[in-house]
């Protein structure tokens, strides 16, 4: 963890690290401060998290499972909150919040990740700070790094690493050299995810044998297969965003009633890389607009640059963070993309919109320390 006294030094260091390689035109100024959020109330340090958006049906949803997820979300919020409460940095807060979810087998990140089509876990994550030069770290196709979010943060903070994005065995070697925790690939295995993997293969076979069979099949697993993410603003007004996933790809979709739902997310093609580790697609942070983390149909997040679109709406259209997030998610729905985003601006305004049936999500503010957690939309 980065100590509080080091924060200013880190920000200064990162600015130097990046500016030595970046030719900045000092005359460029994209933000008209007067068009930013009008008369903002400053809520102070705030953390918002998600544990995945997807197919969840309230009426079928077991109470026990609901309690387990809400408790896990609360633990994640409290971990990040403690850091913000102590005056810590947003990057430490989002890392702590995401690590809790990576270590919790309920979520599709770290332990409990879904399987690729050949039965492998391939993990990926990214992290970003919203200071002017946008420091970022990302990784993909990991099989042995226990906490991909910590690897992403290590890349971001590494003065010797000029790269943003490392993948595969070289990323794992780098993690090992940096002393990060390395595990056997079997560590990520859980029985529940394996069962989903096998069911996914079966469904896939059914789909290819008889493309309409899924339309009749409504007993799909209501567990989300979602990514986890966190966005925070600290007492310095610095925003950080983090996203981590077991990666997955929509092998097939099916219709339920009148709307299309994103389903059958297990069994991605081996080597598929999603939006989660892609800066601007799954993770974005910019102090002057907002920080955003996404979850849902990754191919749409990639093709439409959804999380950066939220910040662009704030920046160029002058929308507030809530409207920007809602509008970006709605635009994605119109083109067929399903999922949601979480976002925070520098005043601690929070947005958590989604267009799927549910999204595990929550927020907490240092001002009152009360964790707010949600799954469906009328809680």
Using rule CB under 6 A, residue 227 touches ligand ASP: yes
Give min distance, CB of 108 to ligand ASP, in A: 7
- Alpha helices in 158-190, H assignment, sequence order: 168-177
Residue 305 class from Cβ within 10 Å (0-12 exposed, 13-18 middle, 19+ buried)? Answer: middle
- Main-chain phi, psi angles of 31, to 5 degrees: -100, 125
Q: How far apart are CA 213 and CA 277, in angstroms?
A: 34
Residue 299, classified by CB atoms within 10 Å of its CB into exposed (0-12), middle (13-18) or buried (19+), is: middle
- CB of 142 vs ligand ASP, minimal distance in Å: 13
According to the binding rule CB under 6 A, does residue 80 interact with ligand ASP?
Answer: no
**46 among annotated binding-site residues:** no
**Distance between CA atoms of residues 281 and 138, nearest Å:** 12
Spatial separation of the C-alpha atoms in residues 133 and 20, rounded to whole Å: 11
Residue 126 vs 349, nearer CB to ligand ASP: 126
The answer to whether 294 touches 340, Cβ cutoff 8 Å, is yes
Q: Which of 90, 131, 207, 247 binds ligand ASP (CB under 6 A)?
A: 247
The β-bridge relationship of strands 239-245 and 254-256 is: unpaired
How many residues touch ligand ASP under the rule CB under 6 A: the total is 14
Is 248 among the residues that bind ligand ASP (CB under 6 A)?
Answer: yes
Task: Count Cα atoms within 13 angstroms, Cβ side, for 332.
Answer: 34
279 is in an annotated binding site: no
Which residues in 207-226 contact ligand ASP (CB under 6 A)?
225-226
**Interaction with ligand ASP in 262-321: which residues (CB under 6 A)?**
274-276, 295-296, 298, 301
**Does the annotation count 22 as an active-site position?**
no
Q: Which of 245, 267, 356, 373 binds ligand ASP (CB under 6 A)?
A: 245
Residue 253 in tokens: 């979709």
Residue with tokens 């729905």: 333
Give the per-residue contact string, 15-54, with ligand ASP (x = CB under 6 A; - = no): -------------------------------------x--
Query: Which of these is catalytic: 144, 227, 245, 283?
Result: 227
User: Given the rule CB under 6 A, which residues bind ligand ASP?
Assistant: 52, 225-227, 245, 247-248, 274-276, 295-296, 298, 301
Q: Which residues line the annotated binding site?
A: 272-275, 295-298
Q: Which residues line the annotated binding site for substrate?
A: 272-275, 295-298
Catalytic residues: 227
């Amino acid at each position: 963890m980065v100590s509080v006294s080091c924060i200013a030094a880190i920000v200064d260091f990162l600015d130097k690290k990046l500016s030595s390689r970046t030719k900045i035109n000092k005359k460029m100024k994209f933000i008209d401060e007067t068009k930013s959020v009008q008369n903002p109330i400053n809520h102070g340090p705030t953390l918002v998290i998600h544990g995945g958006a997807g197919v969840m049906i309230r009426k079928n949803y077991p109470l026990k499972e609901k309690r387990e997820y809400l408790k896990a979300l609360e633990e994640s919020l409290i971990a990040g909150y403690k850091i913000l409460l102590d005056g810590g940095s947003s990057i430490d807060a989002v890392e702590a919040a995401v690590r809790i979810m990576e270590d919790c087998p309920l979520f599709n990140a770290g332990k409990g990740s879904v399987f690729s089509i050949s039965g492998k876990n391939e993990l990926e994550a990214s992290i970003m700070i919203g200071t002017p030069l946008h420091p970022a770290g990302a990784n993909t196709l990991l099989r042995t790094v226990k906490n991909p979010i910590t690897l992403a943060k290590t890349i971001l903070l590494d003065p010797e690493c000029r790269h943003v994005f490392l993948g595969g065995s070289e990323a794992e070697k780098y993690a090992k050299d940096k002393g990060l925790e390395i595990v056997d690939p079997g560590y990520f295995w859980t029985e529940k995810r394996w069962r989903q993997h096998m069911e996914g293969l079966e469904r896939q076979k059914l789909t290819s044998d008889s493309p309409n069979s899924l339309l009749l099949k409504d007993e799909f697993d209501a567990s989300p297969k979602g990514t986890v993410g966190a966005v925070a603003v600290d007492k310095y007004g610095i925003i950080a965003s983090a996203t981590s996933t077991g990666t997955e790809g929509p092998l097939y979709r099916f219709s339920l009633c009148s709307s299309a739902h994103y389903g059958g997310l297990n069994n991605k093609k081996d080597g598929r890389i999603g939006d989660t580790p892609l800066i601007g697609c799954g993770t974005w942070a910019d102090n002057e607009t907002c920080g955003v983390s996404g979850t849902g149909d990754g191919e749409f997040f990639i093709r439409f640059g959804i999380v950066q679109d939220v910040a662009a709406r704030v920046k160029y259209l002058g929308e507030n963070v809530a409207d920007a997030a809602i509008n970006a998610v709605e635009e994605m729905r119109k083109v067929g993309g399903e999922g949601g985003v979480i976002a925070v601006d520098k005043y601690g305004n929070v947005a958590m919109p989604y267009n799927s049936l549910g999204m595990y999500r929550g927020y907490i503010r240092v001002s009152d320390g009360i964790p707010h957690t949600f799954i469906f939309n009328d809680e």
